[in-house]
Structure 1
Amino acid sequence: MKKISLIKKFEILEKEFHGIGNSIIQPHIVSNQKKYKTLLKKYRKLEKVVNIYEKYKKKLTALQEANSILKNDSDPEMKEIAYLEKNKILEDLSNIEKKSDDLLFSTSPTGRENLENDHRNAIVELRSGTGGDEACLFVEDILRMYIMYFKQVGWKYKIIHAQKGGIQGYKEIILDVSGKEGEGVYGNLKFESGVHRVQRIPKTESQGRVHTSAITVAVLPEIKDIEMKIHLSDIKKDTFRSSGSGGQHVNKTESAVRLTHIPTKITVECQEERSQHKNFEKAMNVLRSRIYQNEKEKRFKERSIKRKSLVSTGDRSVKIRTYNYPKGRVTDHRIHKSIYNLVGFMNGNIQEMINFLKLSEKNQ
């Protein structure tokens, strides 16, 4: 069944490849440089798929020949050669199928949408939800979890904005996370977007009852200035004194910045730097990413894409994960996967869960 399904996918992309091949030689396409470059890039990607398909078809033909010899030939030597050849062909076909999974996913429409930003750095936003002070404490716990994960994989992070909770923890904290080129920070962290629920006995609970609290995580791809131009006339800028730590300078000068994008009403604050200029730059960085994500979500709705699961959709209104402290278990509800090492998970060992989510995204 897998071979039939794979061949159908190959045939669809082969037809698309030949269609683009005919299009890029047309004068009206050649004269439109932007469209020509886009189609040429797609053509080269599909060319790799078609080349693999040709190899795949040759192997299938060779398999038929080997099976025919095994079935019809009476010569024992020929049968032994055919048997050995068949095993080698089956191994080659398996390798081609494994290689094809990644390639076909990246060239399919949904795959391209899911993967188009995977190479980017990321903006990570954590916000307390239901649960009052306990939710603020959990924001701090999840922040620590991510920081320990970043250290494991060698990524850097900067705090862009932080709002302390009433007693402890954070109501909101925003991070800029970066890695080396091609490390795919967003490609790993995008699965964290959604509602994270915690079940545990709060420190303030005198009767030992388990409470349920929740926080939201939003992971956005970092968008550079050259990729998205925002007109300054569309931005309302307010400055105010920082309410956070940072010494006398921060608290005495209006270095904190609040930006409001008038067309979308998206608002961003930044007060972590002593310089108003640096806070403005950081706020603009977050604003670009939020506007980009806003546009992307609108585009998805217009195309009426029906998602089979919430893996990597970035839907922050849906419960994605539960951290159950009494049972020492963390469960991801999108893939029905539980890990019974909550302590290790909270110490940054989250890559195993991310790998399961990546696999689920591929198999959608």
Structure 2
Amino acid sequence: MSKLDGVVNCLEQHRALQRNITSEQDLAAEKDEDMRALMREENNVYTDLLQKQEQSMLQELLTLSDDEHYPALIFEVNAGAGGQEAMLFAQELYDMYTSYFDHMGWEYEQFSYETTDIGGLRHANLLVNDADAYNWLRYEAGVHRVQRVPSTEKSGRMHTSTASITVIPRPADVQINIAEKDLKIETKRASGAGGQHVNTTDSAVRIVHLPTGLAVEAQSERSQLKNRELALRRLQAKLMQQQLESSEASKQATRKAQQGNLNRNEKIRTYNFVQDRVTDHRIQGGTLHNLSGFLEGGQQLSGLIERLQVDRRKAHLVELLETWQPPQKAADKS
């Protein structure tokens, strides 16, 4: 009922404006020419207001299609084709999206983060805790392509690499209980940069979930206890992801059978550094310039996501209208 408030208010305002428009019959009945001209002028004003009101009402209707609400989601970044260049691009995407999370004021927690020696990213996994996050990020999932001349390319040839984004909703009713007897917990000395702490204490923790074989590690904290808690949270996230993926498999198969390859392009967006542009291939006129500004993960990215939302809502609304049948006809058909 609360979701319908905006639509009802728009409809009431629309009807009030309609009542203020003088009909052609009443205009013809008015004998005073000046009064008739004034009535026509008022009609023009109210007609313009009606058109604006109809746009507002359409926007309210479009928001009703966002009926999937989750308190959190699992957000993944993975390097794709292109070797080291793909991993460098994956790191840039990671930085862009975490900046976007900050821009939106969302809380998020990193569960896994595997980097390369030259600053690239192989894989990252985050938990984003916000009820609005899924509806903003759902269309970011897919293959992102980068086209640029790598710094290591001596001949100046442009390379094409890819990275993928995965957005997995986390329903409120999904619970993961991990039994202590199912865990194999190992400790070891942390590795990497860290001063005297590194290689002096067994603070790093590795946990293996015996029933599934899933393994996680944590060594970012100085305390073994804190690393253990962090590793357990990462394991819980992986088990939750595994559970969600298995439950979604049948739904995805059904959607694919019904919709074919709808919304399953090999690439959803291209980042072209040579031409300083980013192009979203799913919307008309989806090319923006100032790529460096876009990669900051602020208003430019937010604006493109809003356009994607509206475009998909319109398509969803059209689909509903095309498949809708009056109750009597639907009953006759059955």
TM-score (norm 2): 0.72
Identity of aligned residues (%): 27
Q: Does the C-alpha gap of structure 1 residues 361 and 244 become closer, same or farther in structure 2, counting only changes over 3 Å?
A: farther
Map of 1:302-341 to 2, 5 A cutoff?
Answer: 302=254, 306=259, 310=263, 318-336=266-284, 337-341=286-290
- The answer for the alignment partner of 1:299 in structure 2 is 251
| Structure 1 contact 194–320 (Cα < 8 Å) conserved | yes
- What amino acid does structure 2 have at the position aligned with 1:76? E
- The answer for the alignment partner of 1:158 in structure 2 is 109
- Secondary structure, in 3 states, of the residue corresponding to 1:205? coil
Q: CA deviation at 1:218?
A: 1.0
Q: Tell me, which stretches of 5 or more residues in structure 1 are unaligned?
A: 1-40
Q: In structure 2, how many angstroms separate the alpha carbons of the residues matched to 1:50 and 1:116?
A: 21
| Structure 2 contact 191–198 (Cα < 8 Å) conserved | no
- What amino acid does structure 2 have at the position aligned with 1:208? G
Q: Does the C-alpha gap of structure 1 residues 335 and 326 become closer, same or farther in structure 2, counting only changes over 3 Å?
A: same
Q: In structure 2, how many angstroms separate the alpha carbons of the residues matched to 1:260 and 1:198?
A: 39
- The answer for the alignment partner of 1:89 in structure 2 is 46
From 270, 275, 296, the equivalent of 2:227 is: 275
Q: Does the C-alpha gap of structure 1 residues 96 and 244 become closer, same or farther in structure 2, counting only changes over 3 Å?
A: farther
Q: In structure 2, how many angstroms separate the alpha carbons of the residues matched to 1:85 and 1:261?
A: 74
Q: In structure 2, how many angstroms separate the alpha carbons of the residues matched to 1:178 and 1:237?
A: 26
Map of 1:193-232 to 2, 5 A cutoff?
Answer: 193-224=141-172, 227-230=173-176, 232=178
Q: In structure 1, how many angstroms separate the alpha carbons of the residues matched to 2:44 and 2:266?
A: 47
Q: CA deviation at 1:329?
A: 1.3
| Structure 1 contact 160–270 (Cα < 8 Å) conserved | no
- Secondary structure, in 3 states, of the residue corresponding to 1:319? coil
- What amino acid does structure 2 have at the position aligned with 1:359? V
Q: Which has the higher contact order (CA 8 A, sep 6+)?
A: 2
- The answer for the alignment partner of 1:257 in structure 2 is 207
Q: In structure 2, how many angstroms separate the alpha carbons of the residues matched to 1:307 and 1:46?
A: 32
- The answer for the alignment partner of 1:116 in structure 2 is 68
- What amino acid does structure 1 have at the position aligned with 2:174? M
Q: Does the C-alpha gap of structure 1 residues 251 and 98 become closer, same or farther in structure 2, counting only changes over 3 Å?
A: farther
Map of 1:1-364 to 2, 5 A cutoff?
Answer: 45=3, 49=7, 52-53=10-11, 56-57=14-15, 59-60=17-18, 63=21, 65-71=22-28, 73-107=30-64, 111-112=65-66, 115-117=67-69, 120-165=71-116, 167-178=118-129, 184-224=132-172, 227-230=173-176, 232=178, 237=183, 239=185, 245=192, 248=198, 252=202, 255-259=205-209, 269=216, 271=218, 274-289=226-241, 291-292=243-244, 295-296=247-248, 298-299=250-251, 301-302=253-254, 306=259, 310=263, 318-336=266-284, 337-349=286-298, 350-364=301-315
Q: Tell me, which stretches of 5 or more residues in structure 2 are unaligned?
A: 316-334
Q: In structure 1, how many angstroms separate the alpha carbons of the residues matched to 2:103 and 2:313?
A: 25
Q: Does the C-alpha gap of structure 1 residues 306 and 162 become closer, same or farther in structure 2, counting only changes over 3 Å?
A: same
Q: In structure 2, how many angstroms separate the alpha carbons of the residues matched to 1:213 and 1:91?
A: 49
* Superposed structure 1 runs of 4+ greater than 6 Å apart: none
Q: Does the C-alpha gap of structure 1 residues 288 and 197 become closer, same or farther in structure 2, counting only changes over 3 Å?
A: same
Q: In structure 2, how many angstroms separate the alpha carbons of the residues matched to 1:72 and 1:307?
A: 59
Q: In structure 1, how many angstroms separate the alpha carbons of the residues matched to 2:141 and 2:17?
A: 42
Q: Deviations over 1:282-307 (max 9, x none)?
A: 33235435534653563354366538
- What amino acid does structure 2 have at the position aligned with 1:122? L
TM-score (norm 1): 0.67
- Secondary structure, in 3 states, of the residue corresponding to 1:347? coil
Q: In structure 2, how many angstroms separate the alpha carbons of the residues matched to 1:82 and 1:249?
A: 86
- The answer for the alignment partner of 1:37 in structure 2 is none
| Structure 1 contact 66–83 (Cα < 8 Å) conserved | no
| Structure 2 contact 17–50 (Cα < 8 Å) conserved | yes
- Secondary structure, in 3 states, of the residue corresponding to 2:74? strand
Q: Does the C-alpha gap of structure 1 residues 355 and 219 become closer, same or farther in structure 2, counting only changes over 3 Å?
A: same
- What amino acid does structure 2 have at the position aligned with 1:281? R
Q: In structure 1, how many angstroms separate the alpha carbons of the residues matched to 2:60 and 2:101?
A: 28
Aligned residues: 301
| Structure 1 contact 268–287 (Cα < 8 Å) conserved | no
Q: Does the C-alpha gap of structure 1 residues 157 and 289 become closer, same or farther in structure 2, counting only changes over 3 Å?
A: same
Q: Deviations over 1:249-269 (max 9, x none)?
A: 89846623355886xx9x674
- What amino acid does structure 2 have at the position aligned with 1:104? L
Q: Deviations over 1:139-198 (max 9, x none)?
A: 11112222333343444433210122365412101123346xx6x233322232111111
Q: Does the C-alpha gap of structure 1 residues 236 and 94 become closer, same or farther in structure 2, counting only changes over 3 Å?
A: farther
